[in-house]
Amino acid sequence: MKPLAIGPVMIDIAGHSLTALDQEKIAHPNTGALILFSRNYESPQQVAELIRSIRQARNGDILIAVDQEGGRVQRFQTGFTRLPAAAHYAERPELAAVAGWLMASEILAVGADFSFAPVLDVDCGVSTIIGNRSFSPDPEQAADLAGKFRAGMRAAGMAATGKHFPGHGAVALDSHLDLPVDERSLDDIRRQDLVPFRRLIAEGLEAVMPAHVLYPQVDRYPAGFSEIWLQRILRQELGFDGAIFSDDLSMAGAASIGDFNERAGLALQAGCDMLLVCNDPAAAEQVLDSLPPSRNEKREQRLQAMRGRGALGLDDLPAYPQWRQFSQQISEFYESLA
């Protein structure tokens, strides 16, 4: 049987191991990726075995991701180095690249491909869902620190995903629960929020995740469903040629578009390469079955660039001097912040 290509849908699973239904969904032609959450994690050894079983369940490629930013967004904790929230690297800029390498090396060592990081949102002091996940309220400093973090990731063999394009930091509402509306002009957003995206794209950023935020001065659709944002501004104006991952289509910020099939269709039309449908198994099955099978060579090339290329396995890390040094540095910094 011919191996399946990377499909356009990222799914999730409920537990520490695969069920028969999980295996069936992983084998679906439209599946292309799977994201792991805290509920899927018990230990490095357990999650490494889970990841092996996920890959074995598919006849073809599948990308495996996690949110491992640090701070309050770190899905794998016990047995992993605890990472500070991004805002703290302003105090120790030299540790941003160290943390990026360390995060990437530990995730790659258990067999996953990438973490959705770094956050490129500029903290405008109003968003609790972003807050200290942002590297800085200053756009240039945010770009500098995020660039260092990404450089560390890249040195370890991991592709980076900048989020949440064009910026989630200037709205108070949480797009998991509501549709935030940012009334600023495009010029204002260019001068502030787009600075980190522009800088990291110029440095070779591999992927972007758009925000479920509405910018009515620019388009009537939230950014992740907007051809203006994803094609005219991200692709053409900023010159981005990497992969575009939608944010989770089950979030309330996506609900204004319609049902799940409508959300999936509009996100693909706008230019998303991979659709996240998480925390709603019925919706994931619906989207998997509704999309017509298709092949797009350019899209597949973009997504293949997200595959992990780490050189260290789980058994290699403890004996690797750089990992021991970096883990100690970041652990001491993390503990000093408590």
Supply the Cα-derived Rg of the chain in whole angstroms: 19
Q: For the chain, how far is it from start to end, CA to CA, in angstroms? A: 54
Neighbours of 183 (CB within 10 A): 11
Active site residue 247: yes
Collect all residues with Cβ–Cβ distance below 8 Å to 14 and sequence separation of at least 6.
22, 39, 281
Residue 11: φ, ψ to 5°: -115, 180
- Catalytic residue from among 12, 61, 193, 247: 247
Q: Which amino acid is at 67?
A: D
Secondary element (H or E) of residue 64: strand 63-66
**Which residue is listed with tokens 């990377």?**
6
Active site residue 248: no
Q: What does DSSP assign to residue 292? A: P
Q: Which amino acid is at 42?
A: E
Residues 44, 57: Cα–Cα separation, whole Å? 20
6 Cα distance to chain centroid: 17
- Catalytic residue from among 176, 178, 241, 280: 176
Indicate which residues carry an active-site annotation. 176, 247
